[in-house]
Structure 1
Amino acid sequence: MREAPPAAWAEAARSARDRAYVPYSGFAVGALVVTTDGRAFFGANVENAAYPASICAERVALVKAATEGETPPAALIVVADSAEPVTPCGVCRQVMAELCPPEMPVYLGNLAGDWIRTTVTALLPGAFGKEALSGHGGRAE
């Protein structure tokens, strides 16, 4: 659904994008996690010459919130300089499925001001989660 996040959230995600470290691709992404009590956690992608060691903006923001005890988050906002609203990679979608409520709003945008509002479940239907590990040696709680 075409729906923009609150203007302050969009601006905060764009500002986080300015902190990206992208010497190889030049594709800067900014992310913002907003908690139910209004706290904000910013993320920007950080590349590495050993490409698998790079990390996406979404995961930076989500991990920062999680390590501060702020789970589950209330919303995720992601923005990049892309033709269409940016979409999270598969790894980010899996991390979102782990750390976020299934119906949490996720706002995906670009610098042109195009936005899409979706949910974690819509981005990764049938996600593999801790329930799948229950009874199979996993420590699902």
Structure 2
Amino acid sequence: MKQLTLSYAPYSHFHVAAALLCEDGTVYTGCNIENASYSATNCAERTAFFKAVSEGKRTFSCIVIAGGRDGKTVEYCPPCGVCRQVMREFCDPSKFQVVLARSLEDYKVFLLEELLPESFGPETL
């Protein structure tokens, strides 16, 4: 993913890229953007979601995530808990797919509900 090279990770050196597929076929990409204060860092997945939502998109099919130290995708790169919760806000956990990719040929596919069981969503309120 080109987004790996756009990642800003001067502290962790862990570069992450994401591609979010909307139900209408539009794709939004994102990369992680670190900050010296750490808590102001934004993950690639949230960057993609926030770009899409800011453009009026609200329905999503899947997200592909790749990442690794110094941009090398040696291991699968699962989303952090905060990103899983953002996905849950906008996606049906029984349908939304999360694809963890090391290459075009080497990837794993999960449903969001597998990665975030017993989740808290909008219908809980």
Query: Considering the TM-score relative to the shorter chain, is it more than 0.5?
Result: yes
CA distance in 1, matches of 2:66, 2:4: 7
The residue aligned with 1:10 is: none
Pair 1:30 & 2:17 matched: yes
Of residues 78, 87, 92, the one that matches 2:83 is 92
Give the number of aligned pairs: 120
Query: What is the 5 A alignment of 1:1-141?
Result: 14-81=1-68, 82-102=73-93, 103-111=95-103, 113-133=105-125
TM-score by length of 1: 0.79
Gaps of 5+ in 2: none
Gaps of 5+ in 1: 1-13, 134-141
Which protein has the larger Cα radius of gyration, Structure 1 or Structure 2? 1
Whichever structure has more helix as a proportion of its residues is: 1
CA distance in 2, matches of 1:111, 1:38: 22
Q: In structure 1, the residue corresponding to 2:2 is in which secondary structure?
A: helix
The AA in structure 2 aligned to 1:71 is R
- Distance change (3 Å), C-alpha of 1:96 and 1:23: same
How far 1:93 moved relative to its partner? Answer: 0.6
- Distance change (3 Å), C-alpha of 1:111 and 1:25: farther
CA distance in 2, matches of 1:67, 1:128: 23
Q: In structure 1, the residue corresponding to 2:18 is in which secondary structure?
A: strand
Q: What's the C-alpha RMSD, in Å, of the aligned pairs?
A: 1.5
Give 4+ residue runs of structure 1 displaced > 3 Å after superposition. none
